[in-house]
Amino acid sequence: MPFSDVFSKKHLVFDGGMGTMLQSAGLPAGASPDAWNITNPDAVRAVHAAYLAVGADVITSNTFGSTVPRQKRGAYKPAELAAAGIRLVKEAIAASGKTAYAALDIGPLGEFLEPLGDLTEEEALEYFREPIEAGVAAGADCILIETMSALDEALVCVKAAKAYGSGLPVLCTLTYSPAGRLMTGETIETVVAALEEAGVDALGCNCGVGPEQLVSLLPRFTACTTKPLLMQPNAGLPEYVDGQTVYLVGPEAFADEMKKLARGGVWGLGGCCGTTPEHIALVAKLSAK
């Protein structure tokens, strides 16, 4: 079944956090997680396998930072990282014997576009083009643009995905405040209208907030779009303990709030920072009911 057919399903389970899982496996602070696609593929594949084992339908590649601006000090080209990332997802899916989909993960560039920054739209388009073309060639089933906090950058990335993604479905989630605004000030309603005009296949929110805050924001999403909604919150709002950022919402509490999102009509249910296979296992049980 091609990914385009799964939009008719009531719910689809996406995986959870990658960075925190790799840190638990020994990824040093400040190191590029994407480089582990090449230097430590077994660790990355193991994370994918863990999410598959608990029922995730969509496995996201470890390619969040596989772009030129984020790999300036890296030893590998974004295309190498993107291709390796998708290969690891597909290997994990094949080994699991399950039906699941490989989502090519594209994150923000870490630089602002003009006039807030120095990056031109043309430069950004080329930066996104490299991992998109490589990930698609490696066998991605869809393109997941996530954690965007600026609408202009999100729209450029969607443009790149539509131009260079060989017709694959494009999903786009942005990071909102609990008040429903991007870092650059746009509201949910403004963002949704722009994404629909750009031709995304699904939209929503990831990172930034926990599931409780998303439950509060959900009526605003459902009031302004008929597109499938994808929600991947953090395991609560970030807290700082002993100089470290931690997420303290456990699997049961997380699932209780995700149940409300599912009942509210959310199609794609998953997690972001701080979520683990234990969180996604309970989300998968919700979607099976």
Please say whether the beta carbons of 37 and 84 come within 8 A.
Answer: yes
pTM of the model: 0.97
Instruction: Please give the residue that has the higher pLDDT: either 1 or 39.
Output: 39
Sign of CA dihedral 205, 127, 165, 66: negative
The per-residue pLDDT for 243 is: 74
pLDDT, tens digit, for every residue of 221-276? Answer: 999 999 999 999 999 988 888 777 788 899 999 999 999 999 999 999 999 999 99
pLDDT, tens digit, for every residue of 24-62? Answer: 899 998 899 999 999 999 999 999 999 999 999 999 999
Residue with tokens 């907030």: 209
DSSP letter string over the chain?
A: --GGGGGGSS-EEB---SHHHHHHTTPPTTS-GGGHHHH-HHHHHHHHHHHHHTT-SEEE-S-TT-STGGGTT-SS-HHHHHHHHHHHHHHHHHHHTS--EEEEEE---SSPBTTTSSB-HHHHHHHHHHHHHHHHHTT-SEEEEEEE--HHHHHHHHHHHHHHSTT--EEEEE---TTSB-TTS-BHHHHHHHHHHHT-SEEEEESSS-HHHHHHHHHHHHHH--SPEEEE--SSS-EEETTEEE----HHHHHHHHHHHHHTT-SEE---TT--HHHHHHHHHHHH-
Main-chain dihedrals φ then ψ at residue 34, nearest 5 degrees? -60, -35
The per-residue pLDDT for 237 is: 86
Q: Which domains does the chain have, with CATH numbers?
A: 3-288 (3.20.20.330)
